[in-house]
Amino acid sequence: LSSIRPSVSIAGGEPSLYPGLTFILNTLKRIKARKPILDTNGTGLFNKDLIHSINQSSLEHINISRRHYNQEINQELMNLVP
């Protein structure tokens, strides 16, 4: 794939919770993927190891979405309310 320099968007489910995300990020950097993007709801971004992997990666964009504009409803939908 490195000869065609694909543009890659990592999305679906919640990629920040996927245990193999660091491997994917390292692979995209190694093959010099063009414009790698991570689409996430941010759930896994509380993980310090993942943040380190993202900082070391070649990601050019991180799109963070919310499930609802209201903070309380968003937290409830994402199971962030204790």
- Whether pTM exceeds 0.85: no
For the chain, the average pLDDT equals: 87
Considering just the CA atoms, what is the radius of gyration of the chain in Å?
A: 14
Task: Tell me the pLDDT band of 31, cut-offs 50, 70 and 90.
Answer: confident
- Comparing CA positions, the residue from 4, 2, 1, 43 lying closest to residue 21 is 43
Sheet of strand 34-40, all strands in order from the earlier edge strand to the far edge: 7-10, 34-40, 61-64
Position with higher pLDDT, 19 vs 76:
19
From CA 61, how far away is CA 36, in angstroms rounded?
Answer: 7
Position with higher pLDDT, 62 vs 74:
62
Task: Tell me the pLDDT band of 1, cut-offs 50, 70 and 90.
Answer: low
pLDDT of residue 37: 95
Q: What's the whole-number mean pLDDT along residues 42-59?
A: 90
